[in-house]
Structure 1
């Protein structure tokens, strides 16, 4: 059986102090009705459902003290035998960070990510903003444990320097973000609504609206379909949720890609006029519409517009001295592995035409490649300011869509693709991302950013592992 490898993806030096080994026991969760319902759902849905937790039984049958030093952003192969992959065994690991001690079980009871438990008992940082919260993600196929500092997902941008440009951040996003309602399986892309997405770290929203020339109301759609079969959902209500989130978390920003779809007879020009007059101008303090990419400090508390539609002639002429309105993604490269939008502000992987289930591996390869390209870029912040040599550099936003679908093939509906792509990207981010030569093209690593990673079906059954892994990579920006 393989030895356990531990990768410290935080800025804090850690030390593994002790290892206890327990026999594992599956414990049923919920009641009988809930478990039967969940079992039926698991045949319909592809995302993980478990009616059991894996818990340690009795006393440890093996315990020993060790001393394994884990420097920031380094991986160490230990001499600790990994837990039995069949779930018959649990390791309890104790770590030290400074003068504090933390404990975690591997695998966690739900086999998803877990926040380490503080065990030294003085309680001086419980719930405080400065508390060190360590998240662990275990990848059993590689006997690999990754440790992140991404527990406080609701306000993760708070710890980052204002001077960082948004393209250098590692930002989780969702594809067709409002499609969490009862809908056709090929239309629904998300498990939970936008408020829950934002509370759990998502900071890029992909929004599609239908436009009519005689009203400012913007129904939310996915292609020609409404996002809900139980009644029309509107942009204005979604926007109210985003405003509430930013009011409560002023350190955060939300990038919003907006595109016209649906059966409405309105044009892109109608949409640009409607969006500006009917929404942005009513709360200008909450929007960033300048046609350039802001720094994090400039974007805090605002919605940054990524415009996937054409502009009305008057707006194009008058806005921002004739330079445009919003970050220009109008000429979006279609179905691409690595394309660039006109103007150079956006570089995107958006291969979505996954016509056969065998193409999912191709999608995974393209997604890993875009992660590697995003990680290659260099940038520095010196004394709270951009490095003078780079201050005039235009850094594009790297967008990496993990989504794909085929309306006519049930094995390629969004949830079924996400069930394969999302775990593969979690594994890549834990084991290979940010390591020189470990990506598909064996590129050198610069700042180690993931770029914006746009996902389907995150949060299903409480599984936020992918989001925690993406957010966790921002710690690299905080290295001295």
Structure 2
């Protein structure tokens, strides 16, 4: 953890060594070089508490947030075909991840975590326990959670929405279910829902049901605008990389009220249409490292990755300071 903290400290030193009146998300406005308390806060931030150095009035839309794609996918029958993460949910959060992509199969009026047809040897209760425990230990943080129905429902007596409600009703104070993108101060210690499933009782999280397939698209909702790059079938890694960096540029220069979600994940179909996840991640992840070594400040949005790691998360987190 000392090395992880050091990376953030170096970023803070760069910020506070710059000239007076530089704009920073740390206080939501202008800072002066003499504000030593702010410098101290930034210098002391760690990966499991980095949001604590950012002001309450900062909208989540204005941050760069490391995330994981298919966050619970750590099991596969054949190498490279289903596993998307090395770290557990809790390890991801401790490593700075603040966006989780949770895929739930509705089975027996409960949620099992799946990647396609493959059960991931964990259930939604396990995910929530990891999140609640993390937030209890790190109350300055928030977790943005996308929830999507996965694979075939079976043996249920109620809708996916009704089963989801049974989970949130157990700990209602731990959830932010409004349909507007909140400020950080509104949601410290809470899970912010990005809803990819249909709902009859709304508001129920940030609306994301009109998710286009395998492309870059915009969802315009009454109270939020969400801009997504999610090309998951990747015939050419260079084309995927161009899509990623194009959305990075949009996020850095675009409307600060838009929520950007930029999936760096994907798979390439090999012989007999067998998917290879690592063919994409092994090419894209080193490019992400290089990109954020060269682009050290700005708003880049939520960045869900395959095989997220603390060192890459640190580079992304540093861009907030």
TM-score, scaled relative to structure 1: 0.56
> Deviation of residue 271 (structure 1)?
1.2
- Where does 1:68-217 land on structure 2 (aligned, <5 Å)? 130=41, 132=43, 152-181=46-75, 183-184=77-78, 185-212=80-107, 215-217=108-110
Q: Residues of 1 paired with 2:73 and 2:11: CA distance?
A: 35
- Where does 1:215-294 land on structure 2 (aligned, <5 Å)? 215-227=108-120, 232-265=121-154, 270-276=159-165, 278-294=166-182
Larger radius of gyration: 1
Q: Residues of 1 paired with 2:91 and 2:83: CA distance?
A: 16
- Counterpart in 1 of 2:266? 404
Q: Residues of 1 paired with 2:139 and 2:104: CA distance?
A: 26
- Counterpart in 2 of 1:466? 312
SS at the partner of 2:154? coil
Q: Residues of 2 paired with 1:183 and 1:156: CA distance?
A: 36
Indicate if the aligned counterparts of 2:116 and 2:151 stay in contact, CA closer than 8 A. Answer: yes
- Where does 1:44-83 land on structure 2 (aligned, <5 Å)? none
> Deviation of residue 422 (structure 1)?
1.2
* Gapped regions of structure 2 (runs ≥ 5): 1-9, 24-33, 35-39
Does residue 371 (structure 1) correspond to residue 248 (structure 2)? The answer is yes
- Counterpart of 1:428 (choices 279, 282, 291) is 291
> Deviation of residue 263 (structure 1)?
2.4
Q: Residues of 2 paired with 1:469 and 1:266: CA distance?
A: 45
* Gapped regions of structure 1 (runs ≥ 5): 1-6, 15-68, 74-97, 99-128, 134-150, 380-394, 435-447, 476-480
Q: Residues of 1 paired with 2:238 and 2:301: CA distance?
A: 21
Indicate if the aligned counterparts of 2:67 and 2:99 stay in contact, CA closer than 8 A. Answer: yes
SS at the partner of 2:16? coil
Q: Deviations over 1:342-399 (max 9, x none)?
A: 41531100011113xxx011111111111111111365xxxxxxxxxxxxxxx22100
Indicate if the aligned counterparts of 1:404 and 1:412 stay in contact, CA closer than 8 A. Answer: no
Indicate if the aligned counterparts of 1:293 and 1:345 stay in contact, CA closer than 8 A. Answer: no
- Counterpart of 2:225 (choices 331, 337, 345) is 345
> Structure 1 residues 179 and 474, CA, compared in 2 at 3 Å: closer, same or farther?
same
- Where does 1:356-367 land on structure 2 (aligned, <5 Å)? 359-367=236-244
Is the strand fraction higher in 1 or 2?
1
Structure 1 segments of 4 or more deviating over 3 A?
Answer: 7-10, 181-184, 406-412
> Deviation of residue 266 (structure 1)?
7.2
RMSD: 2.9
Q: Which moved more, 1:421-430 or 1:242-251?
A: 421-430
> Structure 1 residues 405 and 131, CA, compared in 2 at 3 Å: closer, same or farther?
closer
- Counterpart of 2:205 (choices 322, 326, 332) is 326
Does residue 453 (structure 1) correspond to residue 307 (structure 2)? The answer is no
TM-score, scaled relative to structure 2: 0.83
SS at the partner of 2:126? helix
- Counterpart in 1 of 2:29? none
| Larger relative contact order (CA 8 Å, sep ≥ 6) | 2
SS at the partner of 1:262? coil
Indicate if the aligned counterparts of 1:168 and 1:451 stay in contact, CA closer than 8 A. Answer: yes
SS at the partner of 2:15? coil
Q: Deviations over 1:153-204 (max 9, x none)?
A: 0000000000011010110000000112354321100011111000010000
- Counterpart in 1 of 2:197? 309
> Structure 1 residues 263 and 8, CA, compared in 2 at 3 Å: closer, same or farther?
closer
